[in-house]
Structures are given as structure tokens and as C-alpha cells.
Amino acid sequence: MAANQRKNFFINKPLQIRFMLYLTLPVMIITTVIMVGLYIGIWGNMLDAFSNERVRNDLLTASRLTEYENARLPEGQQESSTLRFFKQAEKLSARQREVFKDILDDTNKKIIPKFMLLLVFMAWGTVFISHKIAGPFFRFSATLEEVTKGNMRVRIHLRKKDEGRSIAARFNKTLAFLDDTFSQIKSIIRENDSNRDQMAAKLKEELSKIKTSGDV
């Protein structure tokens, strides 16, 4: 178990750092937009809702609405000034709850479309980034398929910004080596068809350069 534990997490530092940025940057942007949106939305509205002018207007409205209600009551049922004061306070507190709810609703309304837009960007970004890996995987797979069929002339060609270009170069080098080796063997057979002993000696020499599981 301990033998399988990774000792070095950075196997391919530039690639891993690049992918770290690919993931962290969008998450950071989304978080920042949401945080700034919430901050500006909530506090901007709060500052407006609780400005001196608004508070003064709300106090006057609370007082006015209580007076309206009182004016509708018959003489015997009209409320004392103390009770009216408490009613005003009650109205004002109900109003503040409405204001808070409106601010949060308003902020949500503004944030949600932005968040959705960012999700679309994220989805598009994910496809774009994954294409840099999925593309080379596809090409490796298709090339290996050709090699399995015996075609040693194939090579892997990746796009300029695809991931895995260095591996592809090494892979192509390996393929070139195999291609050269098999070409050399074919050439020996072709050139020494009349002299079998010479052919066997040359093939032996050529094959001795290759290490295989069948070597004794």
C-alpha cells in the first residue's frame, strides 16, 4: 500500500499548473462576481433604503397610514395616542421586513442571470479545455490502431495548443525507430533472397539490437 503512495505530486509541473489555473481561475471569477454582486446589491440597496430621507419618509408614511386607519373608526373606537404610537412602530417594523425581503429578492434577481451566464461560460470553457486532452487521446488511439494493423508509416500530428505534444513527439520517434527497423529487415530479405546464409546472418545482427521478452 505504502509503495503505491505518490511521493511527488508534480510529475509534469507546467501541465499541472496550467490545469490548476484552468480550474481555479473560472471558480475564482464566479465567486468574485457573486460576492461583489451580493455586496453591491445588498449594501447598495441597504444604504439607499436606510438613507436619512427614506427613513424620514417611512416614518411619515407609518404615521399617515395609522392616521388613515384611525380616521375610519367611529368616535368611541378611536385609538389613544399611545396605542397609535405602537401601531406606527408595528407598521414601521413590518415595512422594514418588506424592505429587507425586497432587497434580497432584488439581489437574487440580479445575481441569478449573471450566475447562469457564468455557468454557460464555464460549460463552454470545460469543453474547450477538455478538447485539448480528448483530441490527442483520440489521435493516439487511432494511430495505435493503425500500428496494430501493421501500418508503421503512421505518425501522430497534434494541434499547436493541444496537450501531450512532447509525448506525441516521443511516440513518433518510437514509431520511426520501429518503421526503420522493419524497413531494414525487409531490405535485408529483399537484397539477400539468393544467399540464405548471408540473409540469416544479417537478420541476426539486425535483430540483436532489439530487446524482447523472448530473449534467452
Partner 1 sequence: MATFKRSRFWALFLAGCLLFPAVAPAEDFSLNPQDRDLLKKIQKDTFYYFTRMSDKETGLTRDSSRPGSPASIAATGFSLAALAIGASNKWVPEEWAYEALRKTLKNLLTKAQHEHGFFYHFLDPRSSRRVWASEASSIDTALLVAGALVAAQYYPGTDIERMAHELYNRVDWQWMQNGNDLVCMGWKPESGFLPYYWDTYNEHLIIQALAIGSPTHAIGRNAWNAWQRLEDDYNGHHVVYGNSGSLFMYQFPQAFIDFRNLDDAGVNYFTNSREAALANRDYSLAVRHLHKGYSEFSWGLSASLGPGGYKAYGAKPGEGLEDGTIAPYAALSSIVFTPKESVATARFFFDQYANDLYSHFGFKDSFNLDKHWWAGEYIGIDQGVTLLMLENFLNDGIIWKKFMDLEAVKKWIEVCKLRAKGTTPSS
Q: Which residues bind partner 1 (CB under 8 A)?
A: 53-54, 57-58, 60-65, 67-68, 71-75, 91, 94-95, 98, 102
Kindly tell me which of 93 and 130 has the beta carbon lying closer to partner 1: 93
Residue 79, phi then psi, degrees to nearest 5: -85, 150
Q: How far is the CB of 114 from partner 1 (least distance, A)?
A: 21
Q: How far is the CB of 106 from partner 1 (least distance, A)?
A: 9
Residues 6+ apart with CB under 8 A from 179: 152, 153
Kindly tell me which of 61 and 192 has the beta carbon lying closer to partner 1: 61
Secondary-structure breakdown of the chain: helix, strand, coil percentages, each rounded to the nearest 5: 80, 0, 20
Kindly tell me which of 66 and 143 has the beta carbon lying closer to partner 1: 66
Distance of CA 35 to the CA centre of its chain: 18
**One-letter amino acid for residue 91 of the chain:** K
Kindly tell me which of 72 and 160 has the beta carbon lying closer to partner 1: 72
C-alpha cell, 133: 486532452
Q: How far is the CB of 108 from partner 1 (least distance, A)?
A: 14
